[in-house]
Amino acid sequence: MSDLFRLDGKTVAVVGAGSGIGAAVALGAARQGARVACLDVAADAAQETAERIRHAGGTADAHTVDIVDAAATTQALSAAKQPGGRLDGVVCTPSINVRKPLLDYSEEEFDRVVRLNLKGSFNVVRAAGRLMVDQRSGSLVVFSSIRSMVVEPGQSIYAMTKAGIVQLVRGAACEFGAAGVRVNAVGPGVVETPLTAPIKANPDWYRAYANKSILKRWASAEEMVGPTLFLISDAASFVTGTILYADGGWLAADGRFTPPGI
């Protein structure tokens, strides 16, 4: 059964492979036997992850891409295909957040968050979908968040984009499924990455988030590897159009207070 989770002979492109969850997923895919294409807006960071994979005995290359540029995204994913012309898996992790009350949001801030989180994800799904539908196989995984379901002050626009990603994934799954292409999302809870560094720097804020999850802690970026590679692998061959929450039970608990006697 363990072979179901292996990625031997497959090519997996990881967008956002230069840091955080993307880097962890790229390294994890290589450990499972995949040839990995490391894509990132930061060329040096993508190359560094690819070098780490090669140093560990894996196969990887690096490509620079800004996913808000549709043509560049298409070009980068086409270049990521293996020599035989296949692209078996694509993982899209990048997003940004401007934490600010909705009434204080500027139009420029709104455009910046929506442009990367939604338009960028759309560009990846469309470009990868065209390749995979043509080859009649493949698996796409786009990163959403628990914020697709729940929100807190200062997260309105970010949450809107993460909910939009879930619907993008569902729509793409409906359209690509007849060609044997699967499309899913991962919904992390709080994960220690560069994006969440400002929270970690505030001890009260950091502890409050840790205590909200049932496991009473944050996740590491490496803990997003298993859920992601499951969706990419043949182990999830009948899984499409859904979101897999990897949130430490955040969404399962409705409050932070434990009643007396429990």
Catalytic residues: 158
Q: What is the largest CA-CA distance in the chain?
A: 63
Taking alpha carbons only, the member of 5, 38, 15 closest to residue 140 is 15
User: Could you tell me how far CA 192 lies from the centroid of its own chain?
Assistant: 14
Residue 13 identity (one-letter amino acid): A
How would you class 105 by CB atoms within 10 Å of its CB: exposed for 0-12, middle for 13-18, buried for 19 or more? Answer: middle
Question: DSSP labels for 2-18?
Answer: GGGG--TT-EEEEETTT
Tell me if 154 sits within 8 A of 109, measured CB to CB. Answer: no
Q: Give the span between the Cα atoms of 182 and 232, in whole angstroms.
A: 9
| Orientation of helix 43-55 relative to helix 20-31, angle to 10° | 30
| Orientation of helix 156-176 relative to helix 121-135, angle to 10° | 10
Neighbour-count burial for 16-55, b at 16+ CB within 10 Å, e otherwise: bbbbbbbbbbbbbbbbbebbbbbbbbeeebbbbbbebbee
Q: Give the span between the Cα atoms of 52 and 231, in whole angstroms.
A: 24
Structure tokens at 2: 């363990």
